[in-house]
Amino acid sequence: MTIDWEGSFAPRMRRAKGSAIRELLKLLDEPGIISFAGGIPDPALFPREEIAAAAQRILGDPRTAAAALQYAPSEGYAPLRRFIAGAMAERGVACAVDNILITSGSQQALDFIGRLFLAPGDTVLVARPTYLGALQAFGAHEPLYEPLPGPGSNRMPESGGSGGARRVKFAYAIADFQNPTGESLSLAERRDLVAGAAALGLPIVEDAAYELLRYDGDMLPSLLALDAARAGGIDAGSVLYCGTFSKTIAPALRIGWIAAPRAVIDKLVLIKQASDLHTSTLDQMILHEVASTISADHLARIRRTYRSRRDAMLAALSACFPASCRWTRPAGGMFVWVTLPAHLDAEDLLRRSLAEAKVAFVPGASFHADGTGRNTLRLNFSLNAEAIATEGLRRLGGVLHRALAG
């Protein structure tokens, strides 16, 4: 009897489909393509020599190598957890080691949080647009989405964490340089969000992936820092903070973390254990050694490079894009968000752009939980050097002018 695979899958999987981002990543290898698609750091900024030296020290000594290659606790490599707890304290949040779980990148943090909280029909508050990977991670549990209060909307939903027909399980927020728009919450908006969630007893999932990639102005306190100050500490608070080294050290090591109340970490450790036992110990040890010894100049260089690329992208957009397009002017992160005239469809534009100009980007609809945003698109500015990006935007501007002309 031949297997009816589709029929044998769980109902939630029958609807699952691929990510536009991941499919588009494949285009990066084609010759001549200028891609603004991925949320990709410049590999020239990876601290390669430091990583190589750390790997050599760890693997060169039989004792540290045995630890790096053997099964290890699900919670993560203890010195790395301690280092992260210290780094969180520097950002205004007193953390114990037991408040930290190491995850395989912050994507896994979002996946675990979805697994911990969500059952079909639960509601999650998300910005519109929001990070596609979060929608994918939560989507496996078939939640409903409602808009997160934010710029232009300070209203919190009426029913909170408990009771009522509709169960809001948590709010998902990116306070700094949001993916995909590049926009941030102001200090007042952060305070409002934290106070509003606390009044409802509603957990906040804070995705802090871009927090350190600030190019203008001073760092603002994280939602976790504000909430811990309000509640009298992380354990009494209601924020689950997802951090990552993917943007500041190297993404392929897949090292992220969750900082959260102990009661939440205890359950997440069980999910980690059932899910993949633990994150690569070698990678955790390398990351720990590099992150705890790297000079401050490393982050300064990343910021300098990306600031210059952001500026070049904004200049090229002004020079080459039709006046009827609008875009964000982010103070950090990796992305500029473009809104086209309402009648244009960014997926049609992408097909035309690839064919006519060999330029790739991500159409904006997939970042919208409700399928709106068809006239929006995301441009990454961290990967390409200024001259390449400027050429790509000149070509894309040409496609846009022709699309608007007829």
385 binds a second copy (CB under 8 A): no
Whole-angstrom Cα distance, residue 324 to residue 320?
Answer: 12
Instruction: Specify whether the CB–CB gap between 341 and 404 falls below 8 A.
Output: yes
Pull the structure tokens for residue 306: 């990306």
Residue 105 or 149: the one with the smaller Cβ distance to a second copy is: 105
Q: Is 250 in the site for a second copy (CB under 8 A)?
A: yes
Task: Give the nearer residue to a second copy in terms of CB position, either 298 or 352.
Answer: 298
Please report how close the Cβ of residue 207 comes to a second copy at its closest, in angstroms.
Answer: 14
Does residue number 70 form part of the binding site for a second copy (CB under 8 A)?
Answer: yes
Select the residue interacting with a second copy from 8, 296, 343, 355 (CB under 8 A). 8
Quote the CA–CA distance of 107 and 366 in Å, as a whole number.
Answer: 17
Residue from 37, 40, 93, 349 touching a second copy (CB under 8 A): that is 40
Instruction: State yes or no: residue 293 binds a second copy (CB under 8 A).
Output: no
Residue 90's φ and ψ, nearest 5 degrees, are -60, -25
> Which listed residue (31, 32, 62, 406) binds a second copy by CB under 8 A?
62
* Min dist. Cβ of residue 9 to a second copy (A): 6
Judged by CB under 8 A, the chain residues 75 through 134 that form the site for a second copy are 103-105, 107-108, 111, 115-119, 122, 133
Q: Residue 366: CB partners within 8 Å, gap ≥ 6?
A: 19, 20, 21, 132, 135
- Rule CB under 8 A: say whether 37 interacts with a second copy: no
- Tell me: does residue 41 bind a second copy (CB under 8 A): yes
396-399 CB contacts, 8 Å cutoff, 24+ apart: 396/320, 396/321, 396/353, 396/357, 396/359, 396/361, 397/316, 397/317, 397/319, 397/320, 397/321, 397/322, 398/320, 398/356, 398/357, 399/349, 399/352, 399/353, 399/356, 399/357, 399/359
Q: With binding defined as CB under 8 A, does residue 219 bind a second copy?
A: no
Is the CB of 183 or the CB of 283 nearer to a second copy?
A: 283
**Which residue, 390, 381, 282, 391, is CA-closest to 333?**
381
Looking up tokens 């001549």 gives 32
CB of residue 366 to a second copy, shortest distance in Å: 13
Number of residues that bind a second copy (CB under 8 A): 97
Site for a second copy in 129-158 (CB under 8 A): 133, 136-137, 139-141
5 near a second copy (CB under 8 A): yes
Contact flag: residue 277 with a second copy (CB under 8 A): yes
Q: Are 328 and 181 in contact (CB under 8 A)?
A: yes
